């Protein structure tokens, strides 16, 4: 079962919602981290649920997270994320499907087809919600794959890094991304 947490403003402690960009009380900017408690999830016994309802977005997402986070089974997790993507509300499934495309490799070593799919998933996530970590992940891919191979692309990695900073990507999210991808982030992408 997923853990539910009350979200509070770090400034005044007032209650905030997931979609809020500013605290209603102290007007401080609010940045919600998508990695909250993800690494503590346990693999639920949901396969029976999927037998009855194979399109259950929540069950597909939880199984995919277990396969990805607990076991690093990228190829096995991807179809479950893709089923969860069918729900337009599950933007995180797009993000994690992009993670699966790298299959534990640094972006530089991933096949171009996988890079293109990862970029497509991240762009789709950004169209729905411009979160800093999505921009940061694109900055990483565009630096480590495109820049290192001397491809000229627009927007480039620096533009995505700047967007990530503007959107409020946290160093904790970056550390979690690096751990999930099993890579060290290049120094030029540091925060």
The rounded Cα 153 to chain-centroid distance in angstroms is: 22
Closest listed residue to residue 103, CA positions, set 136, 140, 72: 72
Q: Domain locations in the chain?
A: 1-30, 38-189
- The structure's pTM equals 0.74
Go through 45-58 and write b for each residue having 16 or more CB atoms within 10 A of its CB, e for each that does not.
Answer: ebeebeeeeeebbe
The model's confidence at residue 37, banded by pLDDT at 50, 70 and 90, is very low
pLDDT, one tens digit per residue, over 112-153 is 999 999 999 999 999 999 999 999 999 999 999 999 999 999
Contact between 88 and 129 (Cβ < 8 Å): no
Classify 22 as helix, strand or coil: strand
Q: What's the DSSP call for residue 105?
A: S
pLDDT above 70: percentage of residues in the chain: 75
Of 120, 127, 140, residue with least CA distance to 91? 127
Q: What is the topology classification, in CATH, of domain 38-189? A: 1.25.40
């Amino acid at each position: 079962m997923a853990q539910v947490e009350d979200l509070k403003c770090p400034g005044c402690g007032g209650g905030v919602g997931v979609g809020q960009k500013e605290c209603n009380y102290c007007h401080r900017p609010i940045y919600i981290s998508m990695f909250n408690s993800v690494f503590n999830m346990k693999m639920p016994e949901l396969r029976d649920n999927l037998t009855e309802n194979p399109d259950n977005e929540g069950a597909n997402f939880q199984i995919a997270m277990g396969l990805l986070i607990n076991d690093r089974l990228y190829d096995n997790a991807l179809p479950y994320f893709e089923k969860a993507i069918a729900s337009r509300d599950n933007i995180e499934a797009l993000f994690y499907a992009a993670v699966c495309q790298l299959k534990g490799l640094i972006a530089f070593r991933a096949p171009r087809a996988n890079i293109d799919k990862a970029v497509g998933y991240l762009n789709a996530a950004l169209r729905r919600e411009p979160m800093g970590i999505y921009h940061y992940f694109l900055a990483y891919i565009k630096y480590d794959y495109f820049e290192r191979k001397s491809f000229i692309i627009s927007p480039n990695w620096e533009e995505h890094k700047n967007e990530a900073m503007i959107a409020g990507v946290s160093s904790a999210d970056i550390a979690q991304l690096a751990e999930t991808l099993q890579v060290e982030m290049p120094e030029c992408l540091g925060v």
